[in-house]
Amino acid sequence: KAGVTQTPRYLIKTRGQQVTLSCSPISGHRSVSWYQQTPGQGLQFLFEYFSETQRNKGNFPGRFSGRQFSNSRSEMNVSTLELGDSALYLCASSLRDRGDTEAFFGQGTRLTVV
């Protein structure tokens, strides 16, 4: 059974550009969550999708957005990149939306903004 797949694994972008990260959940999983991991702030929740609907959003500026497609794949987009957006972005998928099943994580996308 394939795990959670995040692409690309590494990205280098210039300040002011925008970026799109992709997450393919485990087959059959309908919930996808995104987290930002930085040395200073640790792991912070970005947003959560279930059946193409955003159910929760973390405390991030509007430059951070996401969506989920009918096949449960999810994308997150960051516009007008800032140096502080450099981070590891992790995606997690779960079977249901109620927290009663295990969250499986991808290996992350390492974004570097220069």
Partner 1 sequence: AQTVTQSQPEMSVQEAETVTLSCTYDTSENNYYLFWYKQPPSRQMILVIRQEAYKQQNATENRFSVNFQKAAKSFSLKISDSQLGDTAMYFCVLLARGATNKLIFGTGTLLAVQP
What are the residues binding partner 1 (CB under 8 A)?
Answer: 31, 33, 35, 42-45, 48, 50, 55-56, 58, 88, 90, 92, 94, 97-100, 102-103, 105, 107-108
> For the CA atoms of the chain, what is the radius of gyration?
13
By C-beta, is 79 or 104 nearer to partner 1? 104
Query: What's the closest the beta carbon of residue 22 comes to partner 1, in angstroms?
Result: 17
Query: What's the closest the beta carbon of residue 36 comes to partner 1, in angstroms?
Result: 11
The whole-angstrom separation of Cα 94 and Cα 106 is 12
By C-beta, is 27 or 107 nearer to partner 1? 107
Query: What's the closest the beta carbon of residue 13 comes to partner 1, in angstroms?
Result: 19
By C-beta, is 11 or 88 nearer to partner 1? 88
What tokens does 26 get?
A: 């485990």
**Torsion angle defined by CA atoms of residues 36, 77, 21 and 2, in that order, rounded to the nearest 10 degrees:** 80
What tokens does 93 get?
A: 């998928």
Q: What angle do CA 13, 15, 17 make, to 5 degrees?
A: 65
Query: What's the closest the beta carbon of residue 58 comes to partner 1, in angstroms?
Result: 8
Per DSSP, the three-state class of 92 is: strand
